[in-house]
Amino acid sequence: MNIQSVNMQAKSSRQQQAIVRREHLVDTALALFSQQGYDATSIKQIAAAEGVAVGLLYHYFPSKSELLRAVWERHSFLPELRSLLLVEHGETAACVLQKVAERFSAMIDRKESLFRLMVRESQSNPEVADCLHAIVEEGITALGAYLETRVELGELRPHNTALTARMLLGTVLTTHLARLPIRPWVELVTQLLHGISVHPN
């Protein structure tokens, strides 16, 4: 093994360690934010809980709001939503959207502490509200792009895909907040797709 290979392996190992350290910091921040609230939790407390210097935490996250955004990005539905929309292009839009609803609802159940934290804190903290809004908008954009693809493939009629995406995600969110069964959302998808499908069943 030559020196170049050794250096590359060492660099790869350091990068992996940095990724793991970053994830640990995000998880620790989530735990403290959930227990104490966003405003009541300081960067110093998060660093102490993780056993690192404050400067190291700032190396990964320039501000507390950036750390909050990283928490939401890591634990939100966005990664799974993107995966669903990328991998399952072979399925009909109806199948994919029903899976989106079911998995989104399941995610909220699994990560209720994060979800409640974001909703609660967003009512009084502009930073949290901005973070929540940005992630939700990314989800709407991803879903809208998926619907646009289905239009281009001839499965759906041309329509305002961004508005449809906003309505769909908003409805499943409201359904969960009201603690209603997911079935009404599935029925909404069926009715909506009947209206925008090129060949409705």
Superfamily of domain 3-64: Homeodomain-like (1.10.10.60)
pLDDT for 131: 80
Q: Are 169 and 140 in contact (CB under 8 A)?
A: yes
Would you tell me which CATH number, out of the four given (1.10.3470.10, 2.40.160.60, 2.120.10.30, 1.10.357.10), belongs to the domain 76-196? 1.10.357.10
pLDDT along the chain (201 residues), means of 10: 58 81 93 88 95 94 90 81 74 81 77 77 83 86 92 89 88 70 68 72 60
> Does this chain's domain 3-64 share its CATH topology with 76-196?
no
Q: List b or e across 10-40, with b for residues whose CB sees 16 or more CB atoms inside 10 angstroms.
A: eeeeeeeeeeebbeebbebbbebbbeeebee
Q: Which sequence spans correspond to the domains of the chain?
A: 3-64, 76-196
The pLDDT score that the predictor gives to residue 44 is 96
